[in-house]
Amino acid sequence: MTTPFDLTGRRALVTGANTGIGQAIAVALAGAGADVAVAGRSEPAETRTLVEATGRKFVSIKADLSSTAPVEEVVATTVAELGGIDILVNNAGIIRRADSVEFSEADWDAVMDTNLKTLFFLTQAAAKHMLAQGRGKVVNIASLLSFQGGIRVPSYTAAKHGVSGITKILANEWAAKGVNVNAIAPGYIETNNTEALRADADRSKAILDRIPAGRWGDPKDIAGTAVFLASPAADYIHGVTLPVDGGWLAR
């Protein structure tokens, strides 16, 4: 029996799916029935094993998304290998930390290029196929810093605010053409990127004290939300940046 969350027959592209949130999303999409291509700089051997265990097709595309150079090839390979593209999850991203008064132009450009410029042009390339078929789902990975300012991450904050803005403008342009564009803003999730924070007892306690749910998020919390936004259950949701943060922003 099919459900509104069934992705059988859909073709998905996920960026940055080697570990953590991206990996969990790729595996969850496959578990819901989608064939999955992933794009990133390293071979995602573990992700391949987990996706193929669901019985779905898996394609790995080696691509350095710090520039727009590989964008057309990534989409073309996805379409050629999977037979089309119905879902795009823009997860790949980087962060650079320094006081704003000392923040370098190189660090600014590196983050903006990966987190915002490549995200936009990859979405543009994928959407040409989605618009032609009259159907598609784009899920951008935003951040709590799409809503808040943060500290010592000026380019990351600017980029993630930009992701939320791009999500809205593309929804405005494409919603009536059958393409949904939405974003997820993860809270504090147990991944390699937060290992140092979780190991710092004082910092971890301060974070947990702010989260009404009383726990760190699991990558599967984000993955389930991505499946929802990629599924027919979300057909009337457009232009939303959805916090999945255990209530952090509500506190």
Give me the DSSP letters along 55-69: T--EEEEE--TTSST
What predicted TM-score, i.e. pTM, was given to this entire model?
A: 0.97
- pLDDT, residue 1, reads 54
pLDDT of residue 37: 98
- Structural domains of the chain ordered from first start: 11-245 (3.40.50.720)
Catalytic residue among 33, 60, 153, 156: 156
Check residue 192 and give its pLDDT: 86
pLDDT confidence of residue 115: 98
pLDDT at position 9: 96
pLDDT by residue (tens digit) across 119-172? 999 999 999 999 999 999 999 999 999 999 999 999 999 999 999 999 999 999
156 has catalytic annotation: yes
Triad 36, 85, 73: Cα angle to 5°: 90
CA distances (Å), origin 214, targets 69, 148, 209, 210, 251: 42, 20, 7, 8, 12
pLDDT below 70 — which residues of the chain? 1
- Token pair of 88 as six digits: 């795009």
Q: Residue 137's beta-bridge partner residues?
A: 87, 180
